[in-house]
């Protein structure tokens, strides 16, 4: 049984219980743009629009881009903890969503930021904003899946 036949059987099984409508090839799903290139046998998952929305939400739409999501050397600057509100948790959550769908390139930086959700300061927030600057420079990046011979 090929993948197309399997999908058709699953759809038929679901239609026995639920009212379904077939809408054709998916182009956009849960904030992820899905580009199918049949000639190259590739599927590309991209969240360019979501990246732009996140940049705007955190007032970073006009920032300069960064070549890397993390600093290449640790900072020696010590910043005291703050009680001032910073939207750190919201920013890290937005980055985690990007990692889960289409941006594994920021996974390490995002995991590191996630360690400080309970106790963060301006340094951590600046590190999170650096990831945003990297996303600004790489907003067109996506996750490319190549179809291997014999797999469809």
Q: What is the DSSP letter of 65?
A: P
- Angle among Cα 35, 38, 40 to the nearest 5 degrees reads 95
Q: What pTM was computed for the model?
A: 0.80
CA 10 to each of CA 17, 139, 149: distance values in angstroms, whole numbers, following the listed order: 11, 35, 24
CA 88 to each of CA 44, 58, 69, 97, 103: distance values in angstroms, whole numbers, following the listed order: 29, 10, 16, 14, 19
d(CA 17, CA 77): 61
**pLDDT tens digits for 74-112?**
766 666 666 778 899 999 999 999 999 899 999 999 999
Nearest to 142 by CA among 37, 26, 39, 43: 43
**pLDDT tens digits for 122-152?**
889 999 999 999 999 999 999 999 987 765 5
Please answer whether residues 11 and 20 qualify as being in contact, where contact means their C-beta atoms are separated by less than 8 angstroms.
Answer: yes
The proportion of the chain whose per-residue pLDDT surpasses 90, expressed as a percent, equals: 58
């Amino acid at each position: 049984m090929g993948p197309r036949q399997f999908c058709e059987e699953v759809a038929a099984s679901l239609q026995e219980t639920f009212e379904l409508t077939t809408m054709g090839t998916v182009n956009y799903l849960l904030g992820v743009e899905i580009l199918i290139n049949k000639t190259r046998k590739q599927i590309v998952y991209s969240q360019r629009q979501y990246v732009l929305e996140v940049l705007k939400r955190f007032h970073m739409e006009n920032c300069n881009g960064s070549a890397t999501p993390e600093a290449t050397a640790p900072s020696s600057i010590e910043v005291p903890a703050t009680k001032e509100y910073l939207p750190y948790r919201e920013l890290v959550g937005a980055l985690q969503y990007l990692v889960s769908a289409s941006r594994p390139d920021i996974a390490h930086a995002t995991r590191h930021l996630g360690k400080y959700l309970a106790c963060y300061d301006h340094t951590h927030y600046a590190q999170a904003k650096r990831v945003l600057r990297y996303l600004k420079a790489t907003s067109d990046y996506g996750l490319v899946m190549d179809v291997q011979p014999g797999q469809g």
